[in-house]
């Protein structure tokens, strides 16, 4: 695997770890009513949204590279990339909640 792809995969994994930590912190702050901790709630929520966007953008770029039709880049498909694409698919499915699906497809009149 080329060095650039290894760096991109490492950055994607780091962003995903930051996302999971901010998600856990957001859930913790939601159920904990300590006023000293509530001042971090907005920052944690922003961090979660930013890291989710960065993850989706980097994964999209990685998928464009790996599945580029004019070159056979499938050789770069390592175990880590397979796991990242699997996680990407789940995140896309989870982020499109039932309310959004209802708004776009079923409730349009």
pLDDT band at 36 (very low <50, low <70, confident <90, very high): confident
Q: In whole angstroms, give the CA distance from residue 19 to residue 46.
A: 10
Region 7-33: what's the mean pLDDT? 87
Question: What domain range includes position 56?
Answer: 3-106
CA 9 from chain centre, in angstroms, equals 13
**Distance between the two ends of the chain, CA-based, in angstroms?**
50
Looking at the structure of the chain, the number of domains it has is 1
User: pTM, whole model, 2 decimals?
Assistant: 0.69
Note whether 26 and 48 are within 8 A (CB): yes
Residue 51 has pLDDT above 80, yes or no: yes
């Amino acid at each position: 695997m080329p060095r650039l792809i290894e760096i991109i995969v490492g950055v994607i994994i780091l962003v995903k770890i930051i996302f999971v930590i901010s998600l856990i912190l957001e859930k913790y702050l939601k159920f904990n009513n300590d006023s000293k901790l509530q001042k971090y709630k907005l920052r944690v929520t922003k961090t979660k949204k930013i890291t989710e966007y960065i993850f989706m953008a980097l994964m999209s770029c990685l998928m464009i590279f790996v599945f580029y039709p004019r070159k056979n880049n499938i050789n770069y498909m390592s175990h880590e990339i397979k796991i990242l694409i699997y996680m990407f698919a789940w995140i896309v499915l989870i982020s499109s909640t039932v309310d959004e699906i209802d708004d776009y497809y079923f409730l349009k009149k």
